[in-house]
């Protein structure tokens, strides 16, 4: 019996166990139940179902529109992703089309499909995925290598250019295959992933020489390898993941035959070893995938130097380089703190342009992915606060209400006067297909799996991370069964009800996140004051002998708040952003008087703003209305002598930032100049 046959038998047994009575917590989005340095563990995929409200509506949209529509695109001639695998497998004539990372886009969509299947058990989804897996397997080289663009072009050499994204594609393959195995118990996809991972291990271990040291710059393979280790218990994959961390910052920053001048240094996080890094630099997606992967490695190794670096980097991103919407990656083209050229990346601290803000959808999602991992490691509410901020704002802005059109970049202001980005990733109208298609499947898989982020398992209890109507049926870490029902119209209302439907007799913890913005929150148990000190920005831990029928009620005041930026953020001096609960709002031109531009709108400090839920508007949102000042005198000159402005007051509606650009071509602004005294 050869190695792969033995492995297949082993994984077949493992698959049968996952479908039986093995530890239920080993089928999470992240299989971190046995990870020694994780405090908040994943619930199993499918343990939580959205039942009503905001995220239930989004999941339904993902199930009925987002995932099927994207599948039609990627398996057809427009997206051409499946065609690429067929061509390499010898099943179809034609030429490779799409970006170098297009294989990864297809794997992400497959992962999203699996999350839908985990909820609805539609056999058609599984049948189609098995057909695609068979094609992918036929495209894979005998030694395990797979990257369709390199395989399709005879002039491409394996690892001949770091821009080929071989590691990026591999990372998404590993992750999708692990998810497929956990949900179905099948090993057909996992076998392909293992064969590719073994090829990488032979190629890069114990340590590569020459230019191979500079590979893996878009580091999804680190996360994927850790999940593969957790799935197979083969520690070679963990060692390989750690190697890719250790290689960064060791191989120099000069251009070479595999690393052009545009993709070196801070741009790809290779100027400074991770453990010594103090600031987030370079391409935001590359950086945050790297940090998320390092967090996964720390979860298994507990290395102090790693977590110290990750703590510094998370703080630098969130406190000095993140937008009020949770978006990151301030510029399309710029320079790093060390004056390296960067693309789609971080720039200097507190340098936060609005009109030219790039904020790639993938970067925003990666910000939440990194924070989710840090939540697991530390068990602190501030990480879930950032997850939530991203999800309700800079992530969802990347897809239309209908679920078929996408944004790649997410600026905080759009004006049709004096600014034309002139490129293929920045638009004022969402696009049905973006040639650089990395963001859409990343966002759709996030929406599809979000119920798996709603709760975490703690040493003797459960933590409530996200709010929304749902049902949880899981096993706690001691094996005892737990069922909870959550009812809420969050984020439009601040009332949350948690009912205990089933639990063990012994005392255990229920931890409820109190968002940092939710000052004045009250918590009751069975209608009475729980007697706990409620601190915004922390989890409230309630330990008692819970019984079936116990009810926890959470009341978070949904006040409309005006936010100002740090004085060091020049771009927002004397401006305010409007926020209610976790949702950031914006002014959009369809809600302004005719011939009014967003740059004409000012926010009187004393304006009385009111909230109004509109179930039939933009998919059902709460809008905010108030008297805003419109400046009437205009001058086209670049600079003008100061004179007293002429104002007109109008009642104007503000909409959630994520919902803008769903009513045709429009202008938009999150930040509004404050009018202190008309």
Q: Which residues are CB-neighbours of 237 under 8 A, at least 6 positions away? A: 197, 201, 225, 226, 228, 229
Q: Return phi, psi of residue 131, to 5°.
A: -65, -40
CA distances from 274 to 209, 260, 281, 308 (A): 20, 22, 11, 10
Domains, the chain, with CATH or none: 3-453 (1.50.10.10), 455-555 (2.60.420), 560-675 (no CATH)
CA angle 488, 494, 497 (to 5 degrees): 40
Q: What is the pLDDT of residue 6?
A: 47
Which ranges of 326-452 would DSSP assign to H, the alpha helix? 361-378, 381-390, 439-449
CA angle 422, 426, 432 (to 5 degrees): 115
Q: What is the pLDDT of residue 262?
A: 81
Q: Return phi, psi of residue 498, to 5°.
A: -115, 120
Tokens of 501: 């439907």
- Predicted confidence (pLDDT) per residue in 12-33, tens digit: 444 433 333 345 578 999 999 9
- Local structure of 71: helix, strand or coil: helix
Specify which residues 317 forms β-bridges with.
none
Q: Return phi, psi of residue 672, to 5°.
A: -125, 135
- Predicted confidence (pLDDT) per residue in 319-337, tens digit: 999 999 999 999 999 988 8
Q: What is the pTM of this model?
A: 0.94
Q: What is the pLDDT of residue 260?
A: 84
CA angle 402, 404, 405 (to 5 degrees): 100
- Rounded CA-CA distance 541/539 in Å is 6
- Predicted confidence (pLDDT) per residue in 219-271, tens digit: 999 999 999 999 999 999 999 999 999 999 887 788 888 888 788 888 889 99
- Rounded CA-CA distance 291/3 in Å is 33
**Residue 341 neighbours by CB distance under 10 Å:** 17
What stretches in the chain show pLDDT beneath 50?
1-22
- Predicted confidence (pLDDT) per residue in 572-628, tens digit: 999 999 999 999 999 999 999 998 999 999 999 999 999 999 999 999 999 999 999
Q: What is the pLDDT of residue 340?
A: 85
- Rounded CA-CA distance 196/180 in Å is 16
């Amino acid at each position: 019996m050869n190695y792969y046959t033995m492995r297949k038998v082993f994984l077949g047994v493992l698959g049968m166990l996952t479908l039986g009575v093995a530890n239920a917590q080993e089928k999470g989005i992240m299989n971190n139940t046995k990870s020694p340095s994780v405090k908040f563990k994943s619930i199993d995929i499918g343990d939580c179902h959205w039942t009503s409200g905001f995220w239930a509506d989004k999941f339904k949209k993902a199930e009925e529109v987002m995932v099927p529509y994207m599948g039609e695109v990627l398996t057809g001639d427009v997206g051409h992703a499946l065609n690429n695998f067929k061509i390499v497998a010898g099943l179809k004539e034609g030429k490779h089309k799409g970006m170098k990372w297009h294989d990864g886009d297809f794997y992400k969509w497959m992962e999203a499909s699996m999350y839908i299947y985990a909820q609805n058990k539609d056999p058609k989804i599984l049948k189609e995925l098995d057909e695609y897996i068979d094609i992918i397997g036929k495209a894979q080289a005998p030694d395990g290598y797979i990257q369709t663009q390199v395989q399709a072009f005879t002039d491409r050499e394996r690892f001949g250019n770091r821009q080929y994204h071989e590691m990026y594609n591999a990372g998404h393959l590993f992750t999708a295959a692990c998810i497929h195995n956990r949900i179905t118990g099948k090993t057909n996809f996992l076998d392909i992933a293992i064969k590719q991972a073994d090829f990488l291990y032979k190629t890069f271990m114990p340590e590569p020489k020459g230019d191979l040291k500079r590979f893996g710059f878009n580091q999804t393979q680190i996360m994927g390898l850790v999940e593969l280790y957790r799935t197979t218990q083969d520690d070679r994959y963990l060692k390989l993941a750690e190697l890719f961390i250790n290689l960064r910052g060791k191989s120099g920053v000069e251009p070479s035959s595999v690393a052009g001048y545009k993709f070196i240094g801070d741009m790809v996080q290779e100027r400074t070893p991770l453990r010594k890094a103090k600031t987030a630099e370079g391409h935001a997606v590359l950086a945050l995938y790297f940090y998320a992967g390092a967090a996964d490695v720390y979860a298994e190794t507990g290395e102090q130097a790693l977590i110290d670096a990750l703590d510094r980097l998370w703080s630098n991103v969130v406190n000095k380089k993140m937008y009020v919407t949770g978006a990151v990656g301030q510029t399309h083209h710029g320079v790093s703190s060390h004056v390296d050229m960067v693309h789609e990346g971080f720039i200097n601290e507190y340098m936060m342009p609005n009109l030219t803000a790039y904020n790639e959808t993938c970067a925003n999602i990666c910000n939440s992915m990194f924070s989710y991992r840090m939540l697991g490691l530390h068990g602190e509410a501030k990480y879930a606060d950032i997850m939530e901020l991203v999800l309700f704002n800079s992530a969802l802005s990347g897809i239309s209400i209908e679920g078929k059109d996408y944004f790649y970049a997410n600026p905080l202001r759009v004006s049709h006067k004096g600014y034309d980005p002139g490129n293929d990733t920045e638009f004022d109208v969402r696009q049905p297909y973006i040639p650089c298609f990395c963001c859409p499947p990343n966002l759709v898989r996030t929406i599809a799996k979000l119920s798996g982020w709603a709760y975490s398992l703690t040493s003797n209890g459960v933590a409530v991370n996200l709010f929304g109507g749902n049902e949880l049926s899981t096993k706690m870490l001691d094996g005892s069964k737990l069922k909870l029902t959550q009812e809420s119209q969050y984020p439009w209302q601040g009332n949350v009800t948690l009912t205990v439907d089933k639990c063990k007799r012994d005392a255990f913890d229920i931890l409820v996140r109190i968002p940092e913005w939710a000052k004045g929150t009250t918590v009751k148990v069975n209608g009475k004051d729980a007697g706990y000190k409620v601190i915004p920005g922390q989890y409230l831990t309630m330990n008692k002998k819970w019984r079936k029928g116990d009810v926890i009620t959470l009341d978070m005041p949904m006040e409309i708040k005006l936010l100002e930026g740090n004085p060091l953020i020049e771009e927002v001096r004397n401006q305010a952003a409007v926020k209610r609960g976790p949702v950031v709002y914006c002014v959009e031109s369809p809600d302004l008087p005719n011939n009014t531009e967003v740059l004409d709108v000012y926010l009187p400090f004393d304006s009385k703003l009111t909230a109004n839920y509109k179930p039939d508007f933009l998919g059902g949102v709460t809008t905010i209305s108030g008297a805003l000042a419109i400046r009437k005198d205009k001058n086209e000159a670049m600079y003008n002598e100061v004179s007293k402005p002429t104002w007109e007051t109008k009642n104007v509606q503000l909409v959630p930032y994520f919902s803008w650009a769903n009513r045709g071509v429009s202008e938009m602004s999150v930040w509004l100049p404050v009018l202190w005294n008309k």
